[in-house]
Amino acid sequence: MKYLSEFREANLIRGVLEQIHQISTQHWVIMEICGGQTHSIMRYGLDQLLPQNIELVHGPGCPVCVTSIELIDKAIAIAALPGVIFTSYGDMLRVPGSHNDLYSIRANGGDIRVIYSPLDAVRIARENPDKQIVFFAIGFETTVPANITSVLLAKSLGLSNYSILVSQVRVPPAMHAILNSPNNRVQGFLAAGHVCSVMGYWEYLPIAEKYHIPIVVTGFEPLDILNGIRMVVEQLENRTYKVENAYSRLVTEQGNIAAQSTIENMLEECDRKWRGIGLISLSGWRLKDEFAEFDAERRFSVESITPEESPVCIAGLILQGIKKPHECPAFASMCTPEHPLGATMVSSEGACSAYYKYGRKAMAI
């Protein structure tokens, strides 16, 4: 068992697709929450293999895309301070702030380093005791245990030159926001498998119940995604509204208890602004007071900038499943991965970047 090739087997994919064609009798709108799933769908062309009446819309599950412009501006301001080494996951460097991006700070001499793991940031802090090391801790529930464990490690090593700029967001409040919107079109969800590997899916039971909406925890391989879609369609056709698990090799209802208890010990819920969407109450996490010394927002006072968004970018509507990337007037003309107007064109998980990369440019999907 390699846990990869088995879930890409063409014969099984054909069979599951056939079943979806068989059971679907009407138009259904299904949202995959996670940007990683959006890219799998485009990469394997799954959207083009589905029956025409199954419409996939792409959710807000891309932390690079939803990190607020205020926090990006703050990151840029901190990274430009003398004596700071700013560390980040790669995609964040190209995300446009109000006036520039992190790359432009680096081009002007700022010490900005792309890291693979938050533990690399702690290593950099150890190696540079005379510098302040700041890590841009972005992410959904999947990434939060890794991000905050870097603080535990820094603490246990007695490092006083390490802090994190926290932009942690949570999926369930975003689902409520999407479903409460008067423009909502979503009738079923593919829940993000890796988010659920940490959090389980107990949080989704009241959502399915309240909004009468099927939710299926789904993995990332083509067979996983098609099976998730099949299970959602089956529920929609049968008028059932349950939470089901199509990724049981990794996800359990209760999730990873050890990770959840670290989250509980170190973080508290807070309101967060989502780029393009706006404020969603209690949709984020921040460090508790006892970890205040590791909170870059409290360590560095930087002047707040009045944020300015591109007036043409419709990323917010795309992230809520209301519009598709090719419906944006700037798509693939004024806005490209080389010159992005919005974060959804930057991130390797953004819906606009997926449409651009896999050639969904002008066709109606």
Helix (H) or strand (E) holding 56: strand 54-61
Extract the tokens encoding 279: 């404020």
Smallest gap from Cβ 131 to other proteins, in A, equals 20
CA distance 216 to 15: 19
User: From residue 23, how far is each of 10, 12, 27, 198, 233 by CA, in Å?
Assistant: 20, 17, 12, 32, 8
Largest CA distance in the chain: 65
| Residue 230 interacts with other proteins (CB under 8 A): yes or no | yes
Residue 339 binds other proteins, judged by CB under 8 A: no
Decide if residue 218 touches other proteins (CB under 8 A): no
DSSP state of 141: T
Give the chain's radius of gyration (CA, Å). Answer: 21
Q: Does residue 33 contact residue 60 with C-beta atoms inside 8 Å?
A: yes
CB atoms within 10 A of CB 116: 8
Angle, vertex CA 17, rays to CA 15 and CA 21, nearest 5: 115
d(C-alpha 267, C-alpha 181), whole Å: 28
- Residue 5 interacting with other proteins (CB under 8 A): no
Q: With respect to other proteins, which residue has the nearer C-beta, 22 or 304?
A: 22
The residue among 157 and 279 lying less far from other proteins, judged by its C-beta, is: 157
* CA–CA separation, 269 and 203 (whole Å): 15
Phi-psi region at 340: left, alpha or beta (left = phi > 0; alpha = psi -120 to 50): beta
Does residue number 11 form part of the binding site for other proteins (CB under 8 A)? yes
Handedness of CA 320, 191, 167, 84 (dihedral sign): negative
Between the two ends of the chain, the Cα-to-Cα distance in Å is 35
Pick one of 36, 96, 228, 321: the residue that binds other proteins (CB under 8 A): 36
Query: For other proteins, which residue of 24, 87, 218, 256 counts as binding (CB under 8 A)?
Result: 256
What amino acid occupies position 352?
A: C
Contact status: 259 vs other proteins (CB under 8 A): yes
As measured in angstroms, the least distance from the Cβ of 358 to other proteins is 17
Positions in 319-338 near other proteins (CB under 8 A): none
> For residues 224 and 20, what is the distance between their CA atoms, to the nearest angstrom?
13
Give me the sign of the Cα torsion angle 328, 186, 274, 46: negative
> Tokens standing for 293?
């010394």
Residue among 117 and 304 whose Cβ is closer to other proteins: 117
Residue 158 is a binding residue for other proteins (CB under 8 A):
no
Stretch that binds other proteins, among 55-63, 236-244, 321-329, 338-346 (CB under 8 A): 55-63
- Name the residue nearer to other proteins (CB basis): 195 or 236: 195
Query: Under rule CB under 8 A, how many of the chain's residues touch other proteins?
Result: 59
- Contact between 294 and other proteins (CB under 8 A)? no
Strand order in the sheet with 215-218: 54-61, 28-34, 188-192, 215-218, 243-245
Task: Kindly state whether residue 246 participates in binding other proteins, applying the rule CB under 8 A.
Answer: yes
Quick check: 117 binds other proteins (CB under 8 A)? Answer: yes
The residue range among 160-168, 187-195, 206-214, 290-298 that interacts with other proteins, by the rule CB under 8 A, is: 187-195
Chosen residue from 29, 49, 77, 146 binding other proteins by CB under 8 A: 146
Nearer to other proteins, 189 or 211 (CB): 189
Q: Are strands 132-139 and 28-34 parallel, antiparallel or unpaired?
A: unpaired
Cβ proximity to other proteins, 258 vs 362, nearer residue: 258
**Beta carbon of residue 145, minimum distance to other proteins (angstroms, whole number):** 6
Question: By CB under 8 A, is residue 304 in contact with other proteins?
Answer: no
Q: Minimum Å distance from CB 247 to other proteins?
A: 8
Determine if 2 is a binding residue for other proteins (CB under 8 A).
yes
Interface residue list for other proteins (CB under 8 A):
1-4, 6-7, 11-12, 14-16, 18-19, 22, 34-36, 61-64, 89, 91, 116-120, 138-140, 142-143, 145-146, 149, 153, 156-157, 192, 194-195, 197-198, 220, 223, 227, 230, 246, 248-251, 256, 258-259, 262, 347, 349
